[in-house]
Structure 1
Amino acid sequence: MHEIGLPTLIVHGAADFSAPVDVTRRHTAELIPDTTYKEYPTAGHGIRAGRHAQLNADRLAFLRQ
């Protein structure tokens, strides 16, 4: 993952029990240079369905950087 040369947005729900943040995202965010990490404290695995407005706002903000 160190070879990824583009800015990267990683979003994760802290309440995702199928892919716990301690195992997945924290490690991934550290491996990719120039990463923006967003964690939604009460979101689970279905972040796109449950947090679509916040997710879309974060995506747009990331693309405008």
Structure 2
Amino acid sequence: RFNITNDEQFALDLLREKKLLVVHGGGFNWHEPDHFRVVYLPRIEVLKDAVDRMTDFFGHYRQ
């Protein structure tokens, strides 16, 4: 489990560092600050690349 205390900041950090856009959970009125949403519309190759970049990001990300 990751200690994300600000999902909006997390989404911005991911966008800046890995060029991946997600929606913070607060954008959907989620009451906890540790959720985000991902769109699964891109081609599978694009999604695989995104997962690789997210894995790298989560390997070092701390708030």
Q: TM-score, normalised by structure 1?
A: 0.31
Higher normalized helix content (fraction of residues): 2
Higher normalized strand content (fraction of residues): 1
Q: TM-score, normalised by structure 2?
A: 0.32
